[in-house]
Amino acid sequence: MAKVKLTKNEQKKQKDALAMYQRYLPTLMLKKQQLQAEIRTVETRIRELLAEKERIDESFKVWIAVFGERGVFTPDLLKITRIRTATGNIAGVVIPIFEGAEFEAAAYDLARTPLWLDLAVERMKQVFLLDLEAQTLEEQRQRLDHELRVTTQRVNLFEKVKIPETRENIKKIGVYLGDQQTSAVVRGKISKRGLARAAGASAAKGDAV
């Protein structure tokens, strides 16, 4: 704990600081709760996307035998040409928002390729979209999680350090100033009695003369 001056000015400074901490703490606690709720929502959505991706992957297994045909699937069969994102704001945190993607399918001869290839390409698009959205949500989660850690640190600092420390400082200064006031009163009374005795002695001396 830093050493504080035992003065009225310091007492006012500490009281102002305490009022500020007590004013901002509820806001920080509310922000912490909001961030926790948003993180849970994002994590739930990520699990839903991964479950949907797994379901689509399972459906691909139906065509496993067909996928074995040579020359049907190539690395450039489907490419992502553009990812569309926007920005949003949650509890003061700027986050990316997934809006979609654009694809380019390789040209293939409809007469020489299996009929199911078009459907397979569409399923691949779905998987890509799920992956991209999940990646964007993961970025959201990381940013929200970082802000939650910072906010939690501030809540703990205010709640467990600053507020108790400031209250203790105010108490310490109050006790000191109270003692000083009591001492001043006592000194005043002693001085008054001394003056009274001096006046009485002077008067007695005058009467003796």
How confident is the model over 29-88, as pLDDT tens digits? 999 999 999 999 999 999 999 999 999 888 777 665 555 555 555 657 789 999 999 999
What is the per-residue pLDDT across 125-165, written as a single tens digit (0 to 9) for each? 998 999 999 999 999 999 999 999 999 999 999 999 999 99
Percent of all residues in the chain with a pLDDT value above 90, rounded to a whole number: 56
Confidence (pLDDT) at 179: 82
- The pTM of this model reads 0.76
Q: Identify the band that residue 105 occupies on the pLDDT scale cut at 50, 70 and 90.
A: confident
Q: Are the CB atoms for 91 and 38 separated by under 8 Å? A: yes
Q: What is the mean pLDDT of residues 158-186?
A: 89
Tokens of 203: 């008067």
- Domains defined for the chain, CATH in brackets: 9-166 (1.10.287.3240)
| Phi/psi at 80 (5° precision) | -85, 120
Cα separation, 131 vs 67, whole angstroms: 21
Cα separation, 173 vs 9, whole angstroms: 10
Confidence (pLDDT) at 156: 97
